[in-house]
Amino acid sequence: MTARVAILISGSGSNMVALADSMAGDHPARPCLVVSNVPGAGGLAKARDRGIPTATVDHRDFKNDREGFERKMISALEAHAPDILCLAGFMRILTPGFVDRYAERMLNIHPSLLPKYPGLDTHARALAAGDAEAGCSVHAVTADLDSGPILGQARVPVRPDDSAETLAARVQEQEHRLYPMVLRRFAAGDRTPIFLP
Ligand code: GRF
């Protein structure tokens, strides 16, 4: 059975593109929806170009009503009956109720070698700490921010002249490699983590 994958974005959607383009041929999954909390997010046009249905649920319409926002997200999602949710640069914190609903079915990509640097500004923090390497992690989403079981990690060297931007670009190349590899394995029912050097 082919798994249906919904991808949640807030921005340019480069990880969404890497995931969507990987789901072809004998891949066990196909994209069913790209949903954004940001109207006009760059990734929405890229999804439409690929013939993937899109939806927008603007979180600013739900001030102080996170559950109302999530109810709307859930109805947008359920209209496309996803089996798996991939967070790909989705910049909203989800309530335990939402996470529970999609428990064991929701993945996230985070731009650090978790458990190091959950949250924001990961590259600046790695540079400030003088780390010799950085990277990205794909993990199952649990109610605690950026701390579910690791399903894959990729490492890159930190160079002496790196800025947060140059390091982010080097890490993103690996994000685009790692996330599709993990999704393919996950959609086939295999939770064994993937560690790229
Ligand atoms: C990625 O670096 C991802 O790790 C982080 O947000 C960024 C999203 O970029 N969570 P894009 O929208 O996939 O280009």
Instruction: Name the band, by pLDDT with cuts 50, 70 and 90, for residue 22.
Output: very high
Mean pLDDT of 124-132: 98
| Model confidence pLDDT, tens digit, residues 87-105 | 999 999 999 999 999 999 9
Structural domain count, the chain: 1
Ligand 1 site, residue 111, Cβ cutoff 6 A: yes
Ligand 1 atom nearest 88 alpha carbon: 13
| pLDDT band, very low/low/confident/very high, at 6 (cuts 50, 70, 90) | very high
- As a whole number, mean pLDDT of residues 100-112 equals 97
Provide the residue range defining the domain that includes 76.
3-196
Ligand 1, atom nearest to 11 Cα: 12
> What pLDDT, on a 0 to 100 scale, did the predictor assign at position 21?
98
Model confidence pLDDT, tens digit, residues 129-164: 999 999 999 999 999 989 999 999 999 999 999 999
Token pair of 161 as six digits: 């002249």
pLDDT at residue 59 in the model: 98
Mean pLDDT, the chain, whole residue set: 97
Q: Mutation test of ligand 1: which of 46, 109, 173, 179 has the most ligand atoms closer than 8 Å to its C-beta?
A: 109
Per-residue pLDDT for 2 more than 90? yes
pLDDT of residue 1: 85
CATH of the domain at 144: 3.40.50.170
Give the mean pLDDT of 17-39: 98
Helix %, strand %, coil % of the chain (to 5): 35, 25, 40
For the CA of 111, the closest atom of ligand 1 is 4
Mean pLDDT confidence for 34-38: 98
Residues marked active site are found at 110
pLDDT value of position 16: 98
pLDDT digits (tens, 9 = 90+) for 156-186: 999 999 999 999 999 999 999 999 999 999 9
What length does the chain have?
197
Q: What is the DSSP string of 134-184?
A: EEEEEEE--SSTT-SPEEEEEEEEPPTT--HHHHHHHHHHHHHHHHHHHHH
